[in-house]
Chain A
């Protein structure tokens, strides 16, 4: 049977761990609110952008602009977005597993697959694998703003235009709710204009001209898509961490409860034993 002191020490240790997990949960919850608000405020721009693109892409020849043109090449790039930190449940592991699946599938289908990563977890993961990341961005989630989306967007557009790859996919955790993240793979390049639903009104004027407007709009579209994915991932990470830390706090509570029970039982046993000793001693004295 473990000694009383031993159990006491263990309880204290679990209690301090619980304090930490609890604090992490609170911090994640507080940050999550802000992250959610940011997604909401970025949404109008993304939606309007998609709407404008939709009305513009109607009747536009896809070969007109390099970002719209489909290419026959077999080189694929996967942009993987994970978190910088761990301790957020299966958040990173899920993404990385999906990334490997994707890479394997495409390689078997005869494609050449390269990767770029956002987030320290993905960087470290692929550093230990044979596939070296072409480009990495780390530690951007603490001060995430549109400039990051723009920077990544410019980089991938540059690489796409110079022929480093022919298709680009984006892999990230979409924020569905606090408890749920959905792993999402989206094809980013070449741009697939959203399906035009309503009928064309026509007679639209372009200033300066169609091509100029397109070449300004398409890069922006990529940037906002990347930025949105970053925001989604950031919120998803916080949600996932909150859930994970909540579970950890509850588990710690359960452990403390069980150990306290053992502690009290042991304490009682010790007292009983001492009593028995005393009684036994007294009996022996009287007997003599």
Chain B
């Protein structure tokens, strides 16, 4: 189906993206999903992952952590807790965060600590991955 989709990515702090795009690939909690214009309505939770969208031939990347996506035939709204454009990611900081998280995992004694540190690590690794591909 021809045409474009209106993509809005918002976080509690700001409106990050509001553009007409041709295709979106997002990290759903049940697996990555692609959206083209005319997609059926659905609502999903997101996990930590990379979100890509295409305008013409050009792909843009973002890291998103948690949140939701609401898909409608002509519109997709992403409500992310944290989202960053690939260009904005501070690589040294992400690397440092990954190291800290690794140390925390090694030192964690309780299950919750372990889980929290794992989530941190996952987030940092994702930011590294997305950031390096810019």
Contact = CB atoms under 8 A, between A and B. Distances in A.
A208 B79 contact: no
Contacts of B13: 38, 41-42, 45, 145-146
Nearest to A224: B12
Interface string A52-84: 100110000000000000000000000000000
Interface string A200-235: 010111111000110011001001100100000000
Contacts of B41: 201, 203-205
B30 to A, nearest CB: 5
Interface in B74-130: 77, 79, 81
A213 B44 contact: yes
B28 interface: yes
B43 A45 contact: no
A206 B68 contact: no
Interface of A: 38, 41-42, 44-45, 48-49, 51-52, 55-56, 145-146, 149, 201, 203-208, 212-213, 216-217, 220, 223-224, 227
B45 interface: yes
B45 to A, nearest CB: 5
* Most chain B CB neighbours (cut-off 10 Å) among A203, A204, A224: A204
B70 A55 contact: yes
Contacts of B14: 41-42
B79 to A, nearest CB: 6
* Most chain B CB neighbours (cut-off 10 Å) among A45, A145, A217, A220: A45
Interface of B: 8, 10-15, 28-30, 40-45, 67-68, 70, 77, 79, 81
A41 B15 contact: yes
A52 B40 CA distance: 16
Contacts of A41: 13-15
B10 A52 contact: no
A48 B79 contact: yes
Secondary structure at the A interface, as helix, strand, loop or mixed, is helix
A213 B40 contact: no
B10 A212 contact: no
Given A207-B28, A207-B30, A48 B10 contact: yes
A47 to B, nearest CB: 9
A187 B100 CA distance: 41
A227 B14 CA distance: 13
Contact of A217 (B12, B15, B42, B68): B68
22 contacts: A38-B13, A41-B14, A42-B14, A45-B10, A45-B11, A45-B79, A48-B79, A49-B79, A51-B77, A52-B43, A146-B81, A204-B41, A205-B40, A205-B43, A206-B42, A207-B28, A207-B43, A207-B44, A213-B68, A216-B68, A224-B12, A227-B12
Contacts of B12: 42, 45, 146, 149, 223-224, 227
Contact of B43 (A42, A44, A206, A227): A206
Can you list the 4 inter-chain pairs with the closest CB atoms, starting with the nearest? A205-B42, A207-B44, A41-B14, A146-B12
Given A45-B11, A48-B70, 20 more contacts: A42-B13, A42-B14, A45-B10, A48-B8, A49-B79, A52-B77, A55-B43, A55-B70, A56-B43, A201-B41, A204-B41, A204-B43, A205-B40, A205-B42, A207-B28, A213-B43, A216-B45, A220-B67, A220-B68, A224-B12
A145 B13 CA distance: 8
